[in-house]
């Protein structure tokens, strides 16, 4: 019997819930069609919008924080493997082996401590902060349903009030047929029955309205207080969260910096003991391209020193009777072991033409020609503004159109073969590393 009673209660609740859903659905349809008014609260709707925005931002922050923690863990693993590699290659008889091992151990502990503190002081706080949103979201949805119930009860009560007025008007008028068919005392009873039935329905509707209104207002008042408070709390939460992250990261890097300095000291000590075995890494010219706007010439393949830097001097007036500098012909490269010197005031007559440092008067050379160089090594151009050189190529060096564009160690020029063939600077000129060439004129 008890079981049947329990089942009966359950069935009754199911029927009641189904009826509520039907009533709410009918009410929403009427409201959408404009046949029933809907209770509006713009202030509360704004609070709900803020709540949804706050939930979205918090969820994103939680996701990004978890990604950050995953990155910290990955860096920890990478750092640990790197230190393990160092310990493997660090031979037993090298100085500082124990210190290097201790540093690696402390490095591992520091990463673990950093990750754990981020979890405790940031992630768990984040989880607690977001943990309050599901319950409030559920209560907001429930408030919406109770508001529909309140509107439905209100409309039902109002319709009964309207019907009561119509019935009272009908009862006030004499019903001729009823009066003729029934005795006088019976007519009074019929009227009383109609009035009592109408009042009963109206009283029930009023009770349902009062109950629905009470339930709705209780939930509404609580949410009206909680939502603005929750919205305002976001500022303090964000400040505390990011301050914790920033502080933990700052301390972590300070301690890590000390460990790195200690490791550096150990390696410096090792270098001093085995300094004669130091390995020097030399970059190859074809390995990488110089960066645009800040080119750095690569060393020649054989490691030969860079070309002799250009030297410019101004001659002082010679004493009377001394030989005039312009009267002497310059020696060819094969006749002189001295490096080439560009003299700004130098001018000599060669083969009937006047040759100067600026190339004035040389119709067979490009405008502004300064001197010639010969490629000592192959150079592979890595950009469209560079010259491709083969060992033995002769290059006519010319000035940069904009001196500010010249990078240290780079010259502008045109290969002599290209100039003799095309006589067009725009198509033939380009930059090249000076240390791949040797000056010949």
Q: Which of 110-124, 150-164, 314-328 has maximum average pLDDT?
A: 110-124
Q: Are 429 and 414 in contact (CB under 8 A)?
A: yes
Q: Residue 234: exposed, middle, or buried by beta-carbon count in 10 A (0-12, 13-18, 19+)?
A: middle
Q: Which residue has the tokens 């007559």?
A: 349
**CA–CA distance, 58 with 66 (Å, rounded to integer):** 12
Quick: pLDDT tens for 175-191.
545 545 555 555 555 55
User: CATH 1.20.1270.60 region(s) of the chain?
Assistant: 19-273
pLDDT value at 209 more than 70: yes
Domain 19-273 belongs to what topology?
Substrate Binding Domain Of Dnak; Chain:A; Domain 2 (1.20.1270)
Please give the span between the terminal C-alpha atoms of the chain, in angstroms, as a whole number.
120
Task: Give SS3 for 170.
Answer: helix
**CA–CA distance, 149 with 155 (Å, rounded to integer):** 10
Domain 312-316+328-439 falls under CATH 2.30.30.40: yes
Q: What is the mean pLDDT of the chain?
A: 77
Q: Which residue has the tokens 């210190």?
A: 99
Least confident piece of the model among 159-163, 324-328, 416-420: 324-328
**CA–CA distance, 435 with 326 (Å, rounded to integer):** 31
pLDDT value for 186 = 55
Q: How far is CA 431 from CA 283, 382, 387, 408, in A?
A: 20, 11, 6, 12
Instruction: Tell me the torsion sign for CA atoms 399, 405, 410, 414.
Output: negative
CA 134, 136, 137: angle at the middle one, nearest 5? Answer: 60
Task: Give SS3 for 397.
Answer: strand
pLDDT value for 424 = 86
pLDDT value at 52 more than 60: yes
Least confident piece of the model among 91-95, 194-198, 425-429: 194-198
Instruction: Tell me the torsion sign for CA atoms 23, 29, 32, 37.
Output: negative
Return the exposure string of 209-218: e unless at least 16 CB atoms fall within 10 Å of the residue's CB, then b. Answer: beebeebbee
pLDDT value for 298 = 64
Instruction: Tell me the torsion sign for CA atoms 131, 133, 134, 139.
Output: positive
Mean pLDDT over residues 406-434, rounded?
91
Q: Are 319 and 434 in contact (CB under 8 A)?
A: no
User: CATH 2.30.30.40 region(s) of the chain?
Assistant: 312-316+328-439
Q: Phi, psi at residue 342, to the nearest 5°?
A: -90, 120
Q: Are 299 and 283 in contact (CB under 8 A)?
A: yes
Task: Give SS3 for 422.
Answer: helix
pLDDT value for 228 = 95
Quick: pLDDT tens for 251-266.
999 999 999 999 999 9
Torsion region of 321: left, alpha or beta (phi above 0 gives left; psi -120 to 50 gives alpha): left
Q: Which residues contact 239 (CB under 8 A, 6 or more apart)?
A: none
Q: Are 375 and 413 in contact (CB under 8 A)?
A: no
pLDDT value at 59 more than 70: yes
Q: Phi, psi at residue 403, to the nearest 5°?
A: -55, -25
In 3D space, the residue among 98, 94, 84, 82 whose CA is nearest the CA of residue 277 turns out to be 94
Q: At what angle do helices 133-172 and 42-89 cross, to 10 degrees?
A: 160
Quick: pLDDT tens for 270-297.
988 876 655 555 445 544 444 444 566 6
Cβ atoms within 10 Å of 23's Cβ, excluding its own: 15
């Amino acid at each position: 019997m008890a079981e049947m009673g329990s089942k009966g209660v359950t069935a009754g609740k199911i029927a009641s819930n189904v009826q509520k859903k039907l009533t709410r659905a009918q009410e929403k349809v009427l409201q959408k069609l404009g046949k029933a008014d809907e209770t509006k609260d713009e202030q509360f709707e704004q609070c709900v919008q803020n709540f949804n925005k706050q939930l979205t931002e918090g969820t994103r922050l939680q996701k990004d924080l978890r990604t950050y923690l995953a990155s910290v863990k990955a860096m920890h693993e990478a750092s640990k493997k790197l230190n393990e590699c160092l310990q493997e290659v660090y031979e037993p008889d090298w100085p500082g082996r124990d210190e290097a091992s201790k540093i690696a151990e402390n490095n591992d502990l520091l990463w673990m401590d950093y990750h754990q503190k981020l979890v405790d002081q940031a992630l768990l706080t984040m989880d607690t902060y977001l943990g309050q949103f599901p319950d409030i979201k559920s209560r907001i949805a429930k408030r919406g349903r109770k508001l529909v119930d309140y509107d439905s009860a209100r409309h039902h009560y109002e319709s009964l009030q309207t019907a009561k007025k119509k019935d009272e008007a009908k009862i006030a008028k004499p019903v001729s047929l009823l009066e003729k068919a029934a005795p006088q005392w019976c007519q009074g009873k019929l009227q009383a029955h109609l009035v009592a039935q109408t009042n009963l329905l109206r009283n029930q509707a009023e009770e349902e309205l009062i109950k629905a209104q009470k339930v709705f207002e209780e939930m509404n008042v609580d949410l009206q207080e909680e939502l603005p408070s929750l919205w305002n709390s976001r500022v303090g939460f964000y400040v505390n969260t990011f301050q914790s992250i920033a502080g933990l990261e700052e301390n972590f890097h300070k301690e890590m910096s000390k460990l790195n300095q200690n490791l550096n000291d150990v390696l410096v000590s090792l270098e001093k003991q085995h300094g004669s075995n130091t390995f020097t890494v030399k970059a190859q010219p074809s390995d990488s391209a110089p960066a645009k706007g800040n080119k750095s010439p690569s060393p020649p393949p054989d490691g030969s020193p860079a070309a002799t830097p250009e030297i410019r001097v101004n001659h002082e007036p010679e004493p009377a009777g001394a030989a005039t500098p312009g009267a002497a012909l310059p020696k060819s490269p094969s006749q002189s072991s001295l490096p080439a010197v560009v003299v700004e005031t130098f001018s000599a007559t060669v083969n009937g033409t006047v040759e100067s440092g600026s190339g004035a008067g040389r119709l067979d050379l490009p405008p502004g020609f300064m001197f010639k160089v010969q490629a000592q090594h192959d150079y592979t151009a890595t950009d469209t503004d560079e010259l491709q050189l083969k060992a033995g190529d002769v290059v006519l060096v010319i000035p940069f159109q904009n001196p500010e564009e010249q990078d240290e160690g780079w010259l502008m020029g045109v290969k002599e073969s290209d100039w003799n063939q095309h006589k067009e600077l725009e198509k033939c000129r380009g930059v090249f590393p000076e240390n791949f060439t040797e000056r010949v004129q």
